[in-house]
Structure 1
Amino acid sequence: MRSLCLSLLTGAMLLQTAMADEKAADALSSFQVKPGFRVELVASEPLLRDPVALAFDENGRMFVVEYPEYNQQFAKDKQPVTGSVRMLEDTDGDGQYDKSTVFVSDLAAPSAVACYDGGLFVAAAPDLLFCKDTDGDGRADTREVVFTGFRRLENRTDPSLNTLLWGLDNRFHACTSYSGSEVRAVKHPGEKARSIRNRGFLFDPRTLHFALSSGGGQHGLAIDDWGQEFLCSNSSPVKMLMYDDRYLARNPYLKAPAPAVEITEGGKHTQLFRISPEEYWRQERTRLRNEGKFRGSNEGGKSSGFFTAATGVTIYRGDAWPAEYRGSVFVGEPANNLVFRGQLEPDGVGLVARRADAGREFLASMDTRFRPVQFANGPDGNLYVIDMNRDLIEGAMFLPPELLKKVNVNGGDQRGRIYRIVRENFEQSPLPQLGKATTAELVRLLSHRNGWHRDTAARLIYERQDQSAVPLLKQLAVESDYPVARMTALYALKGLESLDEASLLRALKDDVPEVRVHALRLVEQRVQESKAVRDQLLAMGEDPALKVRYQLAFSLGELKSTTERNAVLASLAMRDGQDQWMELAILSSLAEGAGTVFQRLAHEDAYPRSQTGIRFLTALARQTGAAGRPQETEVVLNSLLQWSAAQEQQAAVLLTLLAAQPEKTRREFLNRHQASLKPIMGRVLEEARAAALNTRLPVNQRLTAIKRLGFAPYAEVWDVFSELLEPQQVNPVQVAAIVQLGQFPDQEIAALLISGWPKMTPELRTKAAETLLSRAAWSGALIDAIEAGSIGRGDLSPARVDLLKQHPDKRLASRVKQLYADRSLARRDEVVQQYQSALKTNGDVASGKAVFKKVCSACHRLEGVGTAVGADLKAIRDRGKAGVLLHILDPNREVKPQYMSYTLVLESGQVLSGMIADESVNSITVRKPDGTSTTVLRINIEEIRSSGLSFMPEGLEKQIDQRTMADLLAYLMSLQANAANAVN
């Protein structure tokens, strides 16, 4: 009986496999691929399901990450499923994987895998794990958390931590997507957790220390042969990382643009040549949008054919395809069932990705279930395509319920395919066995034309730490005719702590610019101790390659400020400063010496009169002012006073120098140089007074004039601001005046704003409150006025009241708590219970929209109304009516980190309160309750702390009764989700 059962079970499995193979074979006929290539199936169900990532170990075994949880929370028959990592083996060497073993099971949302030291690093937020099979049974028996804190966004389907790749620097690199959490190294408990918001994540697999670098992608990271990194996001197919933000960290006075820049020629709207039929629900959504019945962009009336789910950006680095394909960039577009190929071409110091295949895609399928979500370069030199093969690849939370009911959100959760794209005449070779290679063989493999072999050999050399490799690597760095090998050998030497100065000096003179670029990076730690290295760097200012000069501009910042160094930076500015990225690189190296470089450039004949020259000199003045070093500031001022540039240009640069200085320093500077500045400042302020009050001038000119009035003593311009606050003035002028008043330190500002309060509109009162609350003394005057009754208690929004209760000034916070004691109702759940009737009442959508505009639009934006400060509400209906009500009445029951309120105390005494909207290594951007944003340098922040409370205030029941709440709920529940903005 037992043997019969086994036979039946075996027969069923064989039948299941045969049926799956037949379906997969049918899928092959649906493909259209670039002529000269063919698509091969290398693995499919039941050997795997829901694949999202893969990695090959040194012996050619394939480890596949399975993510069956995708969209499961929205399924009608929700099942408790977890992910896993499967080990696939090709036992007969025919290129098709025929054996599958679950290597790691029971993983929550796994999203990436990398091979190391006989085991695997596995990303499964909130953790990064290391799993290893120590007894040889093909299953991991050890599993430890090495890093933790990666946040998986609630109700989102795309993984936060993804795409683990080996880098030239002997570290694994990963994309962190939208995770803004605090990550820590478990093996180093003494180290503080660090925020990874918009940052890349790198870690050393030997020491298990991690570092942060530039980031900004969603799902996908690519590294080319030269170590250049690329990212992508749903509507941004190829982003290039323009700089490593460690260079910004050394210069705290520098504000910089985001490092991830879209380089696809057409960006989101690149025309895509889809060949699959459009899904019914996709067509229906577009029709409803075109008719105005369904909210969201109608994308020009098209249902598809543009990037909306770009994922898995990958550079082809193999050796099995024709040479012209090497370095091509591939991006999956699973919503359109295709693979896009771009050709990378130089564009200044960056690149541009142009469509490589005219009028068609490199690979497209007629099957709407083909979902290419990731790629991998294989040991055989071919490109592998990971097909999740789902019925629905869009995140279900972004589809409205009306259409979602017609879609099986977890359809295909038992399917999954891995394909490879090969030349028509490709013949399978034996799988590599690099795990058995000697150290000498591994060194030779660094010259292999297949990037997988180089990466794997470099990783194994680093793992083994075999010093016998050192002389061989030094020889390779000199003698190899393959420049990539020479560069890789340098990094391998560094990984063995054997990179010598002679090898670096030789590499700085290499014939190939890319090798020189990496030599510059590798030599940075030696510039202070070696005269030979310093001399060589200083001599490279005339390097013929722009990319070398770009890296040199960054690397020179590792040298102390000297006349010679600053002269090279000045020459780079004159030669290449028209490129904004070169300008950034130079500025990053001028934490010290900006004034000296300004002086040198200001006295060049033509440079100060050129557009490039004015822009760069203005940037130098801003940085000099922010640093606040008197000696350098004096140098810039003296240069300006001798300047022969136009008066307007001279004034603009001077005002930039002043504006960047801390408030106290600026006032002292103006007083100290009153006599010498009078000819310039007197003219500027006289013109500004006249322009600010001239109602016949364009508004923009008046706003510029109002900003310039901020450089005068308040006592000299109070009358102008008093007039600018009168009701007869246009709204933008009144707002600008209120904002500019916040830049003065004078106590009289509070009196002016409070006296003008009765004549202000609600919007202006919000702006005035923000200004008054920016300084403790003014805040006290505002509370005095509320206590006296000259300002109504209701004029302060609940959000502002809650923030005031957390004010750094304890006395002020105590007064507010007493003044607004009745706002803190005894129990939130009692309030929620009182409003249950709103759930049973049929509200009016139009009335609810009016309620939203009046009560909610200060922090939320819907249908063109309001300010997008708080959470995006487009998909809020998916929470259900009861969930929405609970969120409105008890916002602190569950607070997402990105919507928590913070208070920043600046060294000037100003106080900023709001959400942290963005942060970089040098700066923090705060979005305030009035919808405006302020970016401050970290160097100017004395204290930062979270209130622990949601930015959305408690106490809205004071403004919304049960009937009105029913209307608001009706409106919010009528909203449709915008699926186009978040698909993957």
Structure 2
Amino acid sequence: MFHSSVIFRYIFAASLLVLLCCSAPSNNKQGLPPSLALKSFELADEFQVELFAAEPLIADPVAMEVDEKGDIYVVEMHGYPEDLKGSGIVKLLKDTDSDGKPDKAEIFADSLVLPSGIMKWKKGVLVVDVPHLWYLEDSNNDGKADIKEKMLTGFALTNPQHIANTPLLGVDNWIYIAHQGAITPKVSMIFNDTGTNVRFANNPNAVQLPRDAEGRNIRFRPDTYELEMLAGESQYGHSFDNWGHHFCTSNADHLFTEIIAARYLKRNPSLLVADATENIPDHGDAAEVFPITNNPQHQLLTDAGVITSSCGITYYQGGLFPDSFNNISFIAEPVHNLVHADRIKSKGASFVASRVYHEKEFLASRDAWFRPVQFYIGPDGALYVIDYYRQIVEHPEWMSEEVNKSGALYNGSDKGRIYRITPKGTGRAQWPNSIKIGNKIEELVSLLSNKNIWWRRTAQRLLTDNSDVKKFASLKNYIDTSQSAGGIVHALWLLEYSKQADSSSIIKTLLHPVSGVRENGLKVAEMNLERWPWLADTMMKLVNDEDARVRFQLLCSLGGVDSEKSASVRMQLLQSGIEDRWVQIATLSGSAGREWQVMSTAIEQFSSRSSEGRRLFFENCAALIALNQKAGDIKKAIAAATVSKDTGSAWWQSAILSGLHKGLSVKGKPGADFSKEESALLKTFQPSAPSMLRYAATELIRVLGVSSNKQLKDIISNAEKIAADSNAELGFRIDAIRLLALSKNSSNISLLERLIDPVQPESLQQQAVKTYAENDATKAASYFIEKWKQMVPSVRESAMAVFFTSSETERLLLGALEKGQIQPGSLGWQRSVWLMNEDDSAIRNRARRILSDKNSNRSEIIRKYEEALNAEADAKKGKELFAINCSTCHQVNGKDGKAFGPDLASIRNRDARFILADILDPNRSIADTYELWTLTKKDGRRLSGIVSAQTSESITITSIGGNSETLARSDIARLEASNISAMPVGLESAISVKDMANLLAFLKGKK
């Protein structure tokens, strides 16, 4: 919840995070008293901060809720990080002396394990305490919950950083729960619950979600037993804007939003989308922040650090702050003792977030114990900051043993504060004794116009519970007459929830001048199309709406409308937004069974002018056609892509062929005669053909094969001549070598062996290696061992991949390693890890004997390399070392490498000794969500890498070098995390102490 482990969320920097508490904790075991802590703040000029509540009234607060009577519920998580004895409680606070601050606390509920969120519901509250979501109610008004019922169950009781949390009532009358269900190897030994099917505890016949909801956010409606898994995830906290856009957070990715809903992705099961969310800050992941902490406990950062522990995302809707704060989000950053603010603006179907303040933060403290973890917008519109106030908030998973054993993990567990932030000149809080909300319909409906989300949300909840049918007429009248756009959205969803939305109200929202109202009107209209099919005509009138998100929602909503007019409007929407990848995804999600029609229309409308967005759409649409396995559609696509046209058509034709190749590579060729299509593809194999078209056709024919033996013989004969012809154009020769994979004969092998020669161009040698392996991987592997010393590095890299195609080739590799024919350093780190984690125990044990660290005392190695910290260093040489040893996974300032791992410019402010320690001993800690995973497909193919993205329908594995593959969950047989870092030990074998000094100089940004 609060840790810094995902600061980089990648392999090199994963283990750096252990050092946030690497040094022994300071002797200060008490922190500052509230009065002095208050003086330690620096706050944005136009605001003021005051203490609202503190110990001994509260301790370890992580969430709060205020009910319609002004009673204050505070959730206290005393068990963090590893205490499962049930020490968590919910307190009920009251202001008995009317000074605007609570002065009395009662234990409302106890015996909770790791309570992580609370929401008022009906006569009680909902509290998340995994594996359950509890409904707690005080039925006899004694201030204590005497009713305790499980509402949901099945969430994993896992690392507390990743448990379900923060129930939140959405404007659409669904209750949303944030969830990111990662389990790290070390902590899972303590928190060994992986969850079960997430479900309603009291209704076995209701819908059930997969185990632990697959780590996704969920939403549910208790009264109707509706339960859904969303497309995105959020670590601790989530928030909505006025229109229901869902904003989420995860430690280093401090602000992202779900763009396309899971329900739209599900309607086309062949569509594999890597991620349904988008990071929106224009200042990047692990964004720079500006702490002011005196003697920070983590002892790593200078004046500038990076976001490492983002949580508590809150979109401000209080109505008290200046209007310029109406689109501001706040995140808590407890590791750096600050609150960061971003201004959110529209950008196409998505958003962009920019810093509110230049090189400073909205709120920062000099007190290293200030640990903001959550916010609450109160009835007065103030921003209430929930301060966990602990000496240490990092989890033991990412800390050194020295700190774990220091006895300091729970220092401050008897403390906690809540601060109230308001504009300067605001008086004390009046609401604790002045809230009087009745049950009159007109009063409740009028509250929907309040600028403060607390009043709107409270009124929404009370109206939902109110059984007076007069409310429906009042809500419809409100939609007709209200000037409050936000209130109208609440009213519309209240009607829809009760199945009382009428076509007149829906149409009014579709025609409303505020785009957010129109967007929600489309969602509700979509849900009522079976009842009123003609509503689609009114919806389609928004095809040229000035707002991009309205058009995007229209595109999503029309995906379920099967009519010629709807198809025409969707293509019009695609044309106007084709450079936006989300528009493409929305189009394809609604094209199930109609992919060829969409492709055909796209060729007519979009093929006259090339652009990156258009090329990508042709490729993606073709891939979807291939994945659907409709032979007729595949044939039509090939025909369109191979029909003779001018060279200006090659860009879109090659994109179609490339997409078909990608799709058929996953699903295979459907059972049909493709001889005509094979001939058409082979006609592109000529030197005069555009290279991009010839390449794409060659790749596709390698998947389809050649059914005619005579034609195949002629092709191979021609390809052999071209491949051997040193005077032929290089690209043509390489394409010819690709075609040789179609036939496995001895003459091919002989030619390929001759082409794997240092006198040949490297790219040609690399293709010869790949084609040789496709013909006979075992024979190829044996040949590569013989020729290893003669191979240049790039060709060795291609050859090395061949050794990992089967158990037999892996055994050949291990034999070569034992005999010294190949050096262990040639494997690369990821492949070493792969071998040492092989399913085959004989290979695994043999690899560990060969590759295990001969000098396993990491401490001694680190001490030896500490000489590098004080040595003279050359950053230019360090850059060269980075290119050799690090660039396969990392970049610096967006350059010089692969963006598989984090941009290492983000670590330049860290102490060099800590960077050194974790380079040399990366297994000290493996960052959550960046463990090395092994994925086994149902067809037996295995992949290794990090799980870089997920949706409810897919998982994306990214391997070293940044290559990603997105797979349908239904195609996965097994997915297992390794307890070894993807950056294993052993770098010292590749670089000297002097080299290390140079590398550190480069990483630290020295000139």
Taking structure 1 as the reference length, the TM-score comes to 0.75
2:43 aligned partner: 33
1:185 aligned partner: 199
Matched AA of 1:229? H
2:58 counterpart SS class = coil
- Alignment match of 2:679 (pick from 651, 675, 679): 675
CA–CA distance in structure 1, aligned partners of residues 73 and 508 of structure 2: 40
CA–CA distance in structure 2, aligned partners of residues 669 and 913 of structure 1: 35
User: Which deviations, in whole Å up to 9, do the C-alpha atoms of 1:277-306 show, x marking residues without a partner?
Assistant: 431655x545xxxxxxxxxxxxxxx35454
1:382 CA drift (Å): 1.6
1:269 CA drift (Å): 6.8
1:168 aligned partner: 171
1:944 aligned partner: 973
1:891 aligned partner: none
Matched AA of 1:134? S
2:118 aligned partner: 113
The 5-angstrom pairing of residues 670-709 of structure 1 reads 671-682=675-686, 683=689
1:173 CA drift (Å): 1.3
CA–CA distance in structure 2, aligned partners of residues 675 and 125 of structure 1: 60
1:51 CA drift (Å): 1.0
Task: Assess, with a 3 A threshold, how the Cα gap between structure 1 residues 145 and 734 changes in structure 2: closer, same or farther.
Answer: farther
Matched AA of 1:162? N
1:588 aligned partner: 589
CA–CA distance in structure 2, aligned partners of residues 529 and 681 of structure 1: 55
- Alignment match of 2:558 (pick from 556, 559, 564): 556
2:23 aligned partner: none
1:110 counterpart SS class = coil
Are 1:715 and 2:751 counterparts? Answer: no
1:343 counterpart SS class = strand
Task: Assess, with a 3 A threshold, how the Cα gap between structure 1 residues 822 and 57 changes in structure 2: closer, same or farther.
Answer: closer
1:219 CA drift (Å): 2.3
Matched AA of 1:368? A
1:26 CA drift (Å): 3.6
- Alignment match of 2:295 (pick from 279, 282, 289): 279
The 5-angstrom pairing of residues 832-981 of structure 1 reads 901-906=934-939, 918-926=949-957, 935-938=965-968, 944-945=973-974
Bigger Cα displacement from structure 2, 81-90 vs 719-728: 719-728
Contact 1:521–1:555 (Cα < 8 Å) also in 2: yes
Matched AA of 1:185? R
1:252 aligned partner: 269
Matched AA of 1:639? A
2:411 counterpart SS class = coil
1:468 CA drift (Å): 3.2
1:504 counterpart SS class = helix
Task: Assess, with a 3 A threshold, how the Cα gap between structure 1 residues 334 and 770 changes in structure 2: closer, same or farther.
Answer: same
1:739 CA drift (Å): 5.9
Contact 1:541–1:549 (Cα < 8 Å) also in 2: yes
Task: Assess, with a 3 A threshold, how the Cα gap between structure 1 residues 927 and 425 changes in structure 2: closer, same or farther.
Answer: closer
2:454 counterpart SS class = helix
1:212 CA drift (Å): 1.4
- Alignment match of 2:511 (pick from 509, 513, 528): 509
1:841 CA drift (Å): 12
The 5-angstrom pairing of residues 724-735 of structure 1 reads none
* Count of residues in correspondence between the two structures: 877
1:706 CA drift (Å): 6.0
Gaps of 5+ in 2: 1-29, 184-193, 699-718, 867-884, 902-909, 915-919, 989-999
Matched AA of 1:174? I
CA–CA distance in structure 2, aligned partners of residues 839 and 366 of structure 1: 39
Contact 2:86–2:112 (Cα < 8 Å) also in 1: no
The 5-angstrom pairing of residues 15-94 of structure 1 reads 23-71=33-81, 82-94=87-99
1:926 CA drift (Å): 4.5
Gaps of 5+ in 1: 1-19, 74-78, 287-301, 806-815, 826-834, 849-856, 879-883, 889-894, 965-975
CA–CA distance in structure 1, aligned partners of residues 541 and 899 of structure 2: 52
1:237 aligned partner: 254
Give the CA RMSD over aligned residues.
Answer: 5.5
Task: Assess, with a 3 A threshold, how the Cα gap between structure 1 residues 501 and 783 changes in structure 2: closer, same or farther.
Answer: farther
Contact 2:274–2:949 (Cα < 8 Å) also in 1: no
1:36 CA drift (Å): 4.3
Contact 1:316–1:377 (Cα < 8 Å) also in 2: yes
1:412 CA drift (Å): 2.2
1:131 CA drift (Å): 2.4
CA–CA distance in structure 1, aligned partners of residues 343 and 946 of structure 2: 40
CA–CA distance in structure 2, aligned partners of residues 839 and 951 of structure 1: 17
Contact 2:181–2:212 (Cα < 8 Å) also in 1: no
Matched AA of 2:152? F
Contact 1:902–1:946 (Cα < 8 Å) also in 2: yes
2:15 aligned partner: none
1:681 CA drift (Å): 4.2
2:354 aligned partner: 354
Contact 2:139–2:147 (Cα < 8 Å) also in 1: yes
Matched AA of 2:65? A
Matched AA of 1:114? M
CA–CA distance in structure 2, aligned partners of residues 541 and 844 of structure 1: 63
Matched AA of 1:279? N
Are 1:226 and 2:243 counterparts? Answer: yes
Matched AA of 1:27? A
Taking structure 2 as the reference length, the TM-score comes to 0.73
Are 1:199 and 2:216 counterparts? Answer: yes
Matched AA of 1:517? E
1:298 aligned partner: none
Matched AA of 1:318? G
Contact 1:234–1:309 (Cα < 8 Å) also in 2: yes
CA–CA distance in structure 2, aligned partners of residues 841 and 27 of structure 1: 39
Are 1:318 and 2:318 counterparts? Answer: yes
1:851 aligned partner: none
Higher relative contact order at CA 8 Å, sep ≥6: structure 1 or structure 2? 2
1:113 CA drift (Å): 1.2
User: Which deviations, in whole Å up to 9, do the C-alpha atoms of 1:928-947 show, x marking residues without a partner?
Assistant: 7x8886624328x5561468
- Alignment match of 2:443 (pick from 424, 441, 444): 441
Contact 2:231–2:952 (Cα < 8 Å) also in 1: no
CA–CA distance in structure 2, aligned partners of residues 218 and 500 of structure 1: 38
1:499 CA drift (Å): 2.1
1:757 CA drift (Å): 5.1
Matched AA of 1:247? Y
Matched AA of 2:109? V
Contact 1:574–1:607 (Cα < 8 Å) also in 2: no
1:474 counterpart SS class = helix
Bigger Cα displacement from structure 2, 668-677 vs 716-725: 716-725
1:550 CA drift (Å): 1.1
Matched AA of 2:141? G
- Alignment match of 2:156 (pick from 140, 151, 154): 151
Contact 1:318–1:449 (Cα < 8 Å) also in 2: yes
Percent same amino acid at aligned positions?
Answer: 25
1:437 counterpart SS class = coil
2:617 aligned partner: 616
Bigger Cα displacement from structure 2, 609-618 vs 60-69: 609-618
